Amino acid sequence: MTRRIVLRPAAKADIDAAAAWLEEQSPHAAAKFWRALDQTLQRVRENPLQYQRVIGEARRAALHRFRYALLYVVTADEVVVVACIHGSRDPKRAQERIPE
């Protein structure tokens, strides 16, 4: 079963901030970031349980070639992305975003 991807507003803000920072560094890097994000979302949509749990039911999917990862929770019919965090940050900083 393919689940629907839902980006929480805070996760969307994280993604936009990361893309904006990368755009300042290099438009080429920002374009690669968007492609990596799309690919990661597609992999998560197709098989959300393949990634390991990091906090409770939240799972972490790394973006290929970037030090960012998506934190998400799987429900019966959705994959809810709650955060996009940089690899040097502790995922527990986003813990309050994870539904119980």
> Which residues are paired to 19 by β-bridges?
none
pLDDT above 70 (res 100): no
pLDDT above 90 (res 74): yes
Cβ neighbors of 93 (< 8 A, separation 6 or more) are 85
DSSP 3-state assignment of 46?
A: helix
pLDDT above 70 (res 81): yes
How is the chain split into domains, by residue range?
Answer: 4-97
Average pLDDT in the 57-76 region?
Answer: 93
DSSP 3-state assignment of 35?
A: helix
The model's pTM: 0.88
Of residues 43 and 97, more confidence is placed in 43
CATH 3.30.420.40 fits 4-97, yes or no: no
pLDDT above 70 (res 92): no
Task: Write the pLDDT tens digit of every residue in 8-63.
Answer: 999 999 999 999 999 999 999 999 999 999 999 999 999 999 999 988 889 999 99
- The secondary structure element, H or E, covering residue 18 is helix 9-25
